[in-house]
Amino acid sequence: MTQVTTIDTRNIIIGMVMIFILVHIGFHSTYIQYFPTFQEFTWLHHIHGALMASWVFMLVLQPVLIHTRKFAAHRFVGKLSYVIAPLMMISMLIIARVSYHKWVGEYGSTEVFSWQSVTWMQFSMFVLFYSLAIFYRKDTFRHMRFMIGTAIIMVGPSLSRTINEYLDTSLEAYFELIPLYVKTGLAAALLAVDVIKKKDWMPYSIVFLAFLFADLVYYARYSEAWQSFGRIVVKVLY
């Protein structure tokens, strides 16, 4: 297996720790502060939260294991992702279904599924990036970048909650737009670094184009194409 450089690994660890902190800040007001009673939440929320937390923790742990040259442990944790990732995908779909039925009576199917454009793009990108990471699991350079793609996805929900709960109320109108731009900006910056350093730009180009497409879907969330997809989702999955 190709080794990553110490400098790359340290930078990744710093980035993952920052995402870990952002996730905890974002979800403190909407979930963590209700510990230990969690009276307003169901077991579905707990399972979903535990899976998401385990993924973020794994994203922090894996580069640390590489940096400390504990490659056997790194491979073991990687194999755990074969269980965690599919369960995350299932939980994301279940939460989306529950949310749809919770709000459809009040706001209507068109409006609710327009909201879920962000959710469905996050789901689709996670499936894409994780699948590519596993496909390139023996190519550390590409594997690492697609896993970083899954980490960037986590920025969105956390940043949305942080804006909505802690920042100036004038920013609340942009609590969906700012995370979209930040995620796409991060992907673009990482792609630019690889291009400038004349490294393989394929992984981050896919990550960047995926986030860019997700932004376009958000702006097209009321279009007939997206709503037609929504009707299929509702009929088949909801």
- Residue ranges covered by each domain of the chain: 6-236
Predicted confidence at residue 6, as pLDDT, reads 42
Predicted confidence at residue 190, as pLDDT, reads 96
Predicted confidence at residue 2, as pLDDT, reads 41
Tokens of 10: 């340290």
Predicted confidence at residue 144, as pLDDT, reads 92
Q: How many CA atoms lie within 13 A of 184 on its CB side?
A: 16
Other C-beta atoms lying within 10 Å of the C-beta of residue 186: 20
DSSP string, 12-67: HHHHHHHHHHHHHHHHHTTTGGGTTT-TT--HHHHHHHHHHHHHHHHHHHHHHHHH
Q: Mean pLDDT of residues grouped by 10 in the chain (238 residues)? A: 52 83 72 61 78 90 89 92 95 93 94 94 97 94 95 86 68 73 95 95 97 96 96 94
Model pLDDT for residues 120-165, shown as the tens digit of each residue: 999 999 999 999 999 999 998 999 999 999 999 988 887 877 777 7
Q: How many CA atoms lie within 13 A of 44 on its CB side?
A: 10
Q: Which of 88, 66, 62 is nearest to 148 (CA)?
A: 62
Predicted confidence at residue 116, as pLDDT, reads 94
Q: Using only C-alpha atoms, what is the Rg of the chain?
A: 18
Output the CA–CA distances (angstroms, integers) from residue 146 to 3, 10, 206, in the order listed: 16, 17, 9
